[in-house]
Every structure is written in C-alpha cells, then in structure tokens.
C-alpha cells in the first residue's frame, strides 16, 4: 500500500491523473525488470538479449537467475545494474566521447554500478575516484572494483567536504544522492515503509549540503550529473534550481530518442541555457524510477590548487623488480609499478600522477591493481591480479574448470589435483579467470579470498 501523502505528491511531477494512477499501479506490482551490463574488456562478443536502448553494454534478462551460482558473475564479466541507472553511459558518450583522459568523481558510489560504468566508458587512461562515506559500504565497493578488473579506479572513504582539497580537479562529478527512494518502491518494500514527507525534507537538505561541499572540486567547464531514485520535485528540480541560484551553472544538450519513454524537462537559469532534466517512470520505461540533471559549471579560470600532501604513499620499484613483474602483464609498457608498503601495485602510466595525488590527500581503500609481493625475485600474486583484464595468461598455467568444479573453488573447497599443474595455477571457467590455486604434490591450496567465498549454496 502506497502512502497517501506520496500519492498526493505526484500531482507536482507534471504527470496527468491517468499517468499518476498507472504509475501507482506499477509501483504496487512488485515485478521488476532484470538487467545486467557486460564488461567489454572481459567479453568481446555482446551476449544475446534485449538491449537497454541507452547503453552499449546493457541488456535485459527474461528472468532473474541465481547470480551467486554463476562463475562469470564472480569473474567480473558482467555487473547486475538497474537499467535506468545505465543512462549515465549515454550522458558520458554524448559529452566526452572524444578519447581524452578524464578525472572523474563518483561521490556516492557504493555498491559500484556507476563507478564500473564510468571506468569502462571513460577509458583506461582516465581515473575514476569512487567514494563512499560509510566504511562497510566502501569495502563492498572496493570488492566490486577489484572484480571489474580495469585498474583505473581509486576507492575512497571520505566525507564529501574532504574533496574541497582538490579544487577544480575533476572534469566530471556524479552525485547519485541518498534520497527518499520513491523510485524503488516496487523493488524495495522497506523504502515504502520508511517514506514520509519529513524524510523528503531531510533528504533534500542533505542533498544540498552534498552538492555545496563538492562544487569547488569541479573545474570550470566540467560536468555535474546529479541524480536520485525518487520522483518528488523537492529532491529533484527544486534542488537543481537551488544550485543554479547559488552557483554558476549552465545547461548542456543531451539528445534522447522519444521511443525510450524518458520524460524530458528543463530547469531555467538566470543568464545561461536551461538545465536539462530526465525522469524515468517505471510505467513508461523498462526500469525503476530515476531522475537526473546534467549541469555544466560555467567558465572561469581553472586554478587546480591542491592542499599539501598529508603523507607519502608510494615508493618506486627497481629495474630488477619491474623485470620480475612485467611478464605478468599483456602490455607492461602501459604500466607504472610502485610499492605501497610491502605490496606491489600497478597503475596506467598516464594516470599514475593523478592516482598519487588522490592517495596523498584522501582516505584510499584501494587503487589500481594489487599485484602481490616479490620473494627472491619471484612473484606471489594477489587475487586482484587474477581478475585484471590485461593479465598475460601465458605467464602461468591455467586450470579450466567446469561450472560445478568452479563453484566448489568459489566455495573455497578442495579441487582435484589432477586438474592442476604443479605450482601456481590460474583458475578459469569458460575462459574467465576466477583466482589462484596452488598445487603442492598431491594436495592443493585454494587461494580464493576467504571473505569472498560462496556460503551455504
């Protein structure tokens, strides 16, 4: 049962009465579309299925499978993401499809759908800072980034106010703000129970604080994508209007196909082009409720001022260490290798300086690709290296397992040694790497991370 005050609030959205009634019926059905987005760095051929019209890599499934029991899910071959959220890909391609490297901040990033999307679309020489203020959610975000395996993401655990230390640093900032969750009512019944007009007011105020905190980190001419999964104007158009009244904002042109079912709108600005906004209603699109606005920061001199580094994180590698690590990479000439403590990490050369600036000023939980440790010139690889898209698979023997045996590996169970080569092996299922296992004579050591293992299935 939808709250009566929520139903009344729909009159402010611009929907006619018939559409409001249809929307309410749709929200009460409890049937949600299932969509996934595949990783083009790990899967070259597009899978079969109905495509998400605004995404090059997204498509719908006819029914919801048990993703936990699919090895490809654990290999980062695809990400389960709500279709409406994939519209961010269309925005990025409309504005940034020019090939230059970008600095991107995904401010409210957990669990990682938009961050993995941005890392894919922006290109490997760009950097995505995926931030989450709640530490437990940030740890889940880091797991998903490692699984995706592109190496161009830094996962941070900071309050939005901390990004003021990176003045005019980012080309693109996405703020998928915590909201009252009206667009998720049919997917999450708890959101319905927790909704109230008071919660809407609190969310709107918090969203304005977040936008204010992060505005200075966006360079003049840069793009802010503000989004929510709610319908009311207080958290959506009114907050965009508030931003335009208090900061130098201007609109940009984003084309959409009328057949997509997206409701377009505009928020006026005083002296510039109006700001385009996009509404996704579950009765009109095959996706959940979603709102986004695309805002350009008006021109001005880019200052690129940074606070002083709080600490030194990285130590450079020796030529001998690099010689030991390079054979594990398909294109080592692209990489910059560095120590963080006793562990080796890999970064794309063009993005390394940006990664270093982030690590020295923010609370970074994970960045680049964790490679492992060297012992007497021999690498002991860590799990993220197995999932890195450019791992050179000729560097180590591969153990190709069938699905059931692969699931046993993911449960951290013993694997028959006759399937393995003596020493370290890369475990794969249908060509997708899952992790490491070591054969030692007549026994094996399953090196899949304990905290990631499948339990009770």
Q: Which of 297, 326, 350 is the last residue of a domain?
A: 297
Across 73-90, b (16+ Cβ under 10 Å) vs e yields bbbbbbbebbbbbbbbbb
Query: What's the gap between Cα 417 and its chain centre?
Result: 37
pLDDT at 88: 98
Residues contacting 246, CB < 8 A, separation 6+: 212
Q: Which long-range contacts (CB under 8 A, 24 or more apart) does 310-317 make?
A: 310/360, 310/361, 311/360, 312/360, 313/340, 313/356, 313/359, 313/360, 313/364, 314/338, 314/339, 314/340, 314/356, 314/359, 315/339, 315/340, 317/344
Here the tokens at position 404 are 């059931």
Q: Is residue 324 domain-resident?
A: no
381 in any annotated domain: no
Query: Is there a domain that residue 355 lies in?
Result: no
**Assigned domain for 221 exists:** yes
Strand partners, 26: none
What's the CATH code of the domain at 206? 3.40.50.150
Note whether 410 and 284 are same-domain residues: no
CB 265, CB 294: distance < 8 Å? no
pTM for the whole thing? 0.96
Residue 49's pLDDT is 84
282 plus 403 within the same structural domain: no
User: What CA–CA distances, in Å, run from 385 to 179, 279, 339, 448?
Assistant: 36, 40, 15, 12
DSSP collapsed to 3 states, 121-162: HHCCCCEEEEECCCHHHHHHHHHHHHHHCCCCEEEECCCHHH
27 and 152 in a single domain? The answer is yes
Of 279, 297, 315, the residue that ends a domain is 297
Residue 405 and residue 293 share a domain: no
Same domain, 270 and 410: no
Q: Is residue 365 a part of any domain in this protein? A: no
- Check: CB of residue 51 under 8 Å from CB of residue 27: no
Query: Residue 352: inside a domain, yes or no?
Result: no
Residues 283 and 408 in one domain: no
Is residue 429 a part of any domain in this protein?
yes
| Helix%, strand%, coil% for the chain, nearest 5 | 35, 25, 40
Distance, CA of 361 to CA of 340 (rounded, Å): 15
Answer whether the bond into residue 206 is a cis peptide, omega within 30°: no
The strand pair at 34-38 and 78-80 is best described as antiparallel
Q: With b meaning 16 or more CB within 10 Å and e meaning fewer, what string describes 221-252?
A: ebbbbbbbbbbbbbbbbbbbbbbbeebbbbbe
User: Can you say how many angstroms the Cα of residue 361 is from the centroid of all Cα atoms in its chain?
Assistant: 21
Out of 244, 276, 297, a domain closes at 297
- DSSP 8-state symbol, 430: T
- For residue 87 the two structure tokens come to 């519209």
CB 84 within 8 A of CB 288: yes
Same structural domain, 275 and 410: no
The pLDDT assigned to 30 comes to 67
In the annotation, is 229 catalytic? yes
Nearest Cα to 173, choosing from 210, 214, 127, 117? 214
The reply to whether 321 falls in a domain is no
Distance of CA 211 to the CA centre of its chain: 19
92, 179, 203, 229: the active-site residue: 229
User: Average pLDDT per run of 10 along the chain, which is 457 residues long?
Assistant: 91 94 89 93 86 96 94 98 98 87 97 98 96 98 98 98 93 97 88 92 97 96 97 98 96 97 95 95 96 93 74 92 97 97 96 95 97 95 98 96 98 97 97 97 97 86
The token pair at 311 is: 């600490």
Burial class (CB in 10 A: 0-12, 13-18, 19+), 454: middle
In total, how many domains does the chain have?
A: 2
Q: Are 417 and 423 in contact (CB under 8 A)?
A: no
Structural domain boundaries, residue 423? 396-457
Residue 163 phi/psi, 5-degree rounding, is -80, -5
CATH number at residue 441: 3.10.450.720
- Residue 374: predicted pLDDT: 96
Length in residues, the chain: 457
User: Quick one: pLDDT at residue 46?
Assistant: 77
């Amino acid at each position: 049962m939808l709250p009566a005050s929520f139903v009344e609030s729909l009159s402010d959205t611009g929907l006619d009465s018939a559409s409001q009634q249809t929307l309410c019926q749709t929200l009460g059905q409890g049937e949600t579309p299932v969509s996934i987005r595949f990783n083009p760095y790990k899967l070259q051929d597009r899978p079969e299925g109905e495509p998400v019209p605004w995404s090059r890599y997204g498509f719908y499934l006819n029914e919801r499978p048990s993703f936990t029991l699919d090895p490809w899910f654990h290999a980062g071959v695809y990400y389960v993401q709500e279709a409406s959220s994939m519209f961010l890909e269309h925005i990025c391609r409309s504005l940034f499809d020019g090939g230059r490297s970008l600095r991107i901040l995904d401010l409210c990033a957990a669990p990682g759908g938009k961050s993995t999307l941005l890392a894919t679309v922006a290109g490997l020489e760009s950097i995505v800072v995926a931030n989450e203020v709640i530490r437990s959610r940030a740890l889940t975000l880091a797991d998903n980034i490692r699984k995706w395996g592109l190496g161009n993401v830094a996962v941070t655990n900071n309050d939005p106010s901390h990004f003021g230390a990176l003045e005019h640093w980012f080309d693109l900032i996405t703020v998928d703000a915590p909201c009252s969750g009206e667009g998720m009512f049919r997917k999450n019944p708890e959101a319905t129970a927790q909704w109230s007009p008071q919660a809407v007011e609190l969310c709107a105020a918090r969203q304005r604080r977040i936008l204010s905190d992060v505005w200075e980190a966006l360079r003049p001419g840069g793009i802010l994508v503000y989004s929510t999964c709610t319908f009311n104007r207080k958290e959506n158009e009114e907050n965009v209007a508030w931003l335009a009244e208090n900061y130098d904002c201007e609109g940009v042109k984003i084309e959409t196909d009328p057949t997509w079912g997206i409701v377009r709108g505009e928020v006026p600005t005083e002296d510039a082009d109006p700001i385009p906004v996009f509404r996704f209603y579950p009765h009109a699109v095959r996706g959940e409720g979603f709102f986004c606005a695309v805002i350009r920061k008006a021109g001005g001199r880019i200052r690129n001022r940074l606070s002083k580094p709080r600490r030194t994180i990285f130590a450079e590698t020796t030529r001998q260490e690099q010689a030991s690590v390079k054979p594990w990479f398909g294109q080592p000439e692209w990489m910059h290798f560095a120590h963080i403590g006793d562990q080796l990490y890999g970064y794309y050369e063009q993005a390394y300086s940006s990664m270093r600036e982030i690590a020295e000023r923010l609370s970074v939980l994970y960045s680049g690709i964790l490679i492992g440790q060297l012992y007497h010139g021999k690498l002991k690889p860590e799990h993220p290296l197995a999932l890195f898209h450019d791992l050179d698979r000729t560097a180590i023997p591969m153990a190709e397992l069938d699905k059931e045996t692969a699931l046993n590996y993911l449960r951290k169970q013993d694997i028959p040694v006759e399937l393995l080569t003596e020493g370290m092996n890369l475990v794969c299922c249908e060509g997708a790497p899952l992790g490491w296992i070591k054969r030692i004579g007549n026994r094996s050591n399953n090196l899949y991370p304990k905290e990631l293992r499948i339990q009770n299935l």
